[in-house]
Structure 1
Amino acid sequence: MLVGVCWPANHSSGRNAAMRDSLKQKIIQVCHQKIAQKGETVGVSFYAFFANRNDDPELLMEAATWWIQIQRLDHFEKARKILQLVEQA
C-alpha cells in the first residue's frame, strides 16, 4: 500500500492512460524527427520532448508519469516503440 502519494486528477493506472493532446503531438513529432535524422533504431528518453529548462513542470511530470509509472519504460527506448504506444493511447 502506498501512503502519502498524490496522483494528478487525470491519472489513470491503465497502460493506455490518456495524455493531453499537445503532449501526444509533441512526442509524435519528435519521434518522427529523430527517426528521420538517425534511423529506425534511434532511442529517446522522455526528456527529448522538452527544452533544457523547467518551463512547464506539470507537463514534464505528466510525461514522466506516463513513461515511468504507467508504461514502466527504461530510461532510453526506441522511438518507434514510443510512437506505437502513443498512437495506441
Structure 2
Amino acid sequence: MRPSLRQKIIDVCDLKMDRKGETVGLSFYAFFANKNDDPDLLMEAATWWIKTHQLDHFEKAKKIKDMVINGK
C-alpha cells in the first residue's frame, strides 16, 4: 500500500475515533469522497481491505489503524 494511503487511513481513523470514540466502525469507503475521483486508489484500498485481509464491510477504526501502523 502506498504511503499516502496509509497516512490517509491513519488520519481518518484518528478523526473518527476523536469524534465518536474508539469503538466506532467504518468501511474502506470512509477514506474517500462521495465521488470516485481516484479509482486506482479506491481499488488499492478495496483490495487491501477485502482481498488481502478479508475484513467485514464495517470494522473498528482502532483495528484498522493498528493494522496499518503494524504494516499489515
TM bucket, shorter chain: over 0.9
Query: Does residue 32 of structure 2 align to residue 50 of structure 1?
Result: yes
Residue identity (%) = 69
> CA–CA distance in 2 between the matches of 1:84 and 1:60?
20
Which of 55, 59, 64 aligns to 1:77? It is 59
Task: Compute the RMSD of aligned alpha carbons.
Answer: 0.4
Where structure 2 has 5 or more consecutive residues not aligned to the other structure, the ranges are none
Structure number with higher helix proportion: 2
State the TM-score, normalizing by the size of structure 2. 0.97
> 1:1-58 deviations in whole A, cap 9, x for unaligned?
xxxxxxxxxxxxxxxxxx0000000000000000000001000100000000010000
State the TM-score, normalizing by the size of structure 1. 0.79
> CA–CA distance in 1 between the matches of 2:9 and 2:17?
12
> CA–CA distance in 1 between the matches of 2:25 and 2:61?
5
User: Residue 15 of structure 2 corresponds to which residue in structure 1?
Assistant: 33
Higher relative contact order (CA 8 A, sep 6+): 2
- Structure number with greater Rg is 1
